Amino acid sequence: MGKILGIDLGTTNSLAAVWQEGESCLIPNSFGEYLTPSVVSFEADDTVYVGKTAKERLVSHPAQSFSVFKRFMGTDQRYEVNGKQYRPEELSAFVLRRLKEDAERYLGELIEEAVISVPAYFNDKARKATKDAGKLAGLKVERIINEPSAAALACRGLDEENDETFLVFDFGGGTLDVSLVDCFDNIIEIIAVSGDNHLGGSDFDKEIAVQFCREHELEFEHISSQRQRIILESASRAKCGLSEEKEVVMKVTDGEFEGQMEMSNKKLIEISMPLFERISVPVKRVLHDGKKNMLDISKVILVGGSCKMPSVQQYLRHMLGEYSLTVMNPDHMVALGVGTYAGIKERREDIKDLLLTDICPFSLGTGIFNAGNAKRTLMSTIIERNSVLPCSHRAHFQTASDYQKYVVIDVYQGEEYYADNNIHLGEVKVGVPLAPKGKETVTVDYTYDINGILIVDVEVDSTGEKKRQVITTGTDNMSSEEIKKRVEQLEKMKLSPADQEENQMLFAWGERLYAQTTGALKNEIGERLNFFQQLLHVEQNPYKVKKWKSGIEEFLRKAENYLDDSGIDWNPADIDSWYEEGDQDDERQEEDRRWYDGHLTH
């Protein structure tokens, strides 16, 4: 078997690594650097620049240069240049091709296969787009790996202890991933993941740029694209400068325009508070989903270039209390982990026994009849998010109307209350005998594996008729023989048991909590929302509606409090309360004030 290239395809920068001589080794690019900017720029003659050169052209040729396209993988986003349109995966393919060529030059051999990392919160469409990008770059991509899982592989030797649970906080230029990881013996088990695919260091650049414009009586959205890029580049430099200095001066020169702004970490905190609040959300969710609190965590590992920001580190110290933060080459950790996984896939003798278990980052389910609004089906979860892969779960459904001729099992991926707000992956349609509603039932089995293959089996209980659909979204480059072999393996698995504004606000609140929760609480929220929806549909008594609404509000409030009780004692939206907690000692109160005042060193 030839070398398999491990690739960290990042929003801001990309890296490549291979497993050789018993360790994961980074591949330098043509500049002798490990980081290749994820930027693509085009000339009029269709010459394509990738990396450092393209990054420089962001300012000089903003209409022909593109960055941060990873955020839009798997979407309908298009980039137009020289009369042509490019998808995000096509731009990503240029970056992958450059990494491939650099690796071939460095290693002196051809590279035909790669393992590529993706944010844990990438959905199936984004994962498929990533594989398509690899194919377009001339690479066989059988496996993609979640970025926090890759980071966990790279972190496995940080302590002498073999048994531990740690939190991986992966904060890059465009995405945030948080994961809970258990390590014991030679096994690395991912317990839970959460994240935000639209939160990263580039958002802090934007906040600084907008503040600069505000102080110079400019509107960022209304200035030329070239000036936007100039201000953003200056903002990025100022942000990086604050990693070394307490204060910097941001300077912008564009033609006759000259301006400057004093910038400090304190000021960065003040103008970026909404971003810090968003950081707390996936941390709380992953602890809730993993049924852990901070007392169960042995350490917190920071990964990703944006973790080098002192303000981010101090905010994490505030959130997570006295737990030490471990920072080891945050720019390189994911790439080193993907390189390690490439070695595992090559079955290298020195690493083949290392076992990494991964999980399903999004729930998988089907749409069911909504008695309150027949036009919008409700999401019924069959495989919950954070289920260990591979897994198989069963559910039972009944007919929803009298004498219906068939049952359609629509397959959805996501956490939303209404089925059509989730991603539709496919459907299975099976005929049923004519009977009154509820008399005919079907048994549905979902089986999902680490390669993204979902097998949906539907059986009509009264007749024994069976239908199967193999959904391979994200794995279309696997041959039919490979898929058939994998299906046979999965069949041997055992199954697990299985319009008033106030009203709209209530539903929105409930839908958010529905997406945040799992298990019995998720089901209870769904049932109460469904009941209230039906009540509004049939009940004309406003007093009865008001009574039930009050009860549902109280229930949702309790659910909200339950979610907040995750072992972390903070509320980022209410800064003043941080200093009024009577049980904090003077030293901790002083630490809180240092965070809020922007004094980020002890």
Distance CA(104)–CA(110), nearest Å, equals 5
Average pLDDT value for residue range 229-253? 89
Distance CA(595)–CA(73), nearest Å, equals 35
Domain end marker among 273, 291, 316: 273
CATH number where 18 lies: 3.30.420.40
Structure tokens at 226: 């070239």
Domain end marker among 296, 315, 348: 348
Span 564-576, pLDDT tens digits: 554 444 444 433 3
Cβ neighbours of residue 213 under 8 Å, at least 6 residues apart?
219, 220, 223, 231
Q: 439: domain range?
A: 364-491
33, 60: one domain = yes
Structure tokens at 463: 């007749």
The phi, psi pair for 535, rounded to 5°, reads -60, -45
420, 451: one domain = yes
Average pLDDT value for residue range 278-301? 82
Omega cis (within 30) before 361: no
440, 527: one domain = no
pTM over 0.85: no
Distance CA(566)–CA(514), nearest Å, equals 17
Lowest mean pLDDT among 177-191, 439-453, 484-498, 532-546: 484-498
For residue 125, being part of any structural domain is answered with yes
Residue 249 has pLDDT above 60, yes or no: yes
7, 154: one domain = yes
Q: Classify the C-alpha dihedral 194-197-202-204 as positive or negative.
A: negative
Per-residue pLDDT band at 495 (split at 50, 70, 90): very low
Residue 293 has pLDDT above 50, yes or no: yes
Residue 205 has pLDDT above 90, yes or no: yes
392, 481: one domain = yes
pLDDT at 45: 77
For residue 205, being part of any structural domain is answered with yes
Q: Would you say how long the chain is, in residues?
A: 602
- Cα-trace Rg, the chain: 26
- Under 8 Å between Cβ of 8 and 150: yes
For residue 591, being part of any structural domain is answered with yes
pLDDT at 500: 57
Span 79-90, pLDDT tens digits: 998 888 888 988
Domain end marker among 491, 519, 548: 491
440, 546: one domain = no
Distance CA(16)–CA(7), nearest Å, equals 4
- Under 8 Å between Cβ of 64 and 43: yes
Distance CA(50)–CA(552), nearest Å, equals 54
For residue 428, being part of any structural domain is answered with yes
For residue 338, being part of any structural domain is answered with yes
Distances (CA, A) of 368 to 116, 345, 365, 393, 406: 36, 40, 10, 17, 14
Structure tokens at 84: 């042509």
533, 582: one domain = no
pLDDT at 488: 52
Catalytic residues: 8, 70, 147, 170
Span 406-439, pLDDT tens digits: 999 999 999 999 999 998 988 999 999 999 999 9
Helix, strand, or coil here: 522?
A: helix
Q: Which of 108, 106, 116 is nearest to 139 (CA)?
A: 116
338, 262: one domain = no
Span 9-68, pLDDT tens digits: 999 899 999 999 888 999 998 888 899 999 998 888 777 888 888 887 887 788 889 998
Distance CA(116)–CA(93), nearest Å, equals 12
Cβ neighbours of residue 506 under 8 Å, at least 6 residues apart?
532, 549, 552, 553, 556
Beta-carbon count within 10 A of 131 CB: 24
Structure tokens at 227: 């000036």
Distance CA(423)–CA(426), nearest Å, equals 9
Span 335-386, pLDDT tens digits: 999 999 999 888 887 777 777 777 888 899 999 999 888 889 999 999 998 8
DSSP E strands in 176-234: the ranges are: 176-184, 187-196
The phi, psi pair for 410, rounded to 5°, reads -80, 135
Residue 530 has pLDDT above 90, yes or no: no
For residue 316, being part of any structural domain is answered with no
7, 107: one domain = yes
397, 486: one domain = yes
120, 223: one domain = no
- Under 8 Å between Cβ of 286 and 179: yes
Looking at the 3D structure of the chain, how many domains does it have? 5
Across the chain, mean pLDDT equals 81
425-439 as b/e: b if 16+ CB within 10 A: beebebebeeeeeee
CATH number where 379 lies: 2.60.34.10
109, 22: one domain = yes
For residue 320, being part of any structural domain is answered with no
For residue 217, being part of any structural domain is answered with yes
CATH number where 218 lies: 3.90.640.10
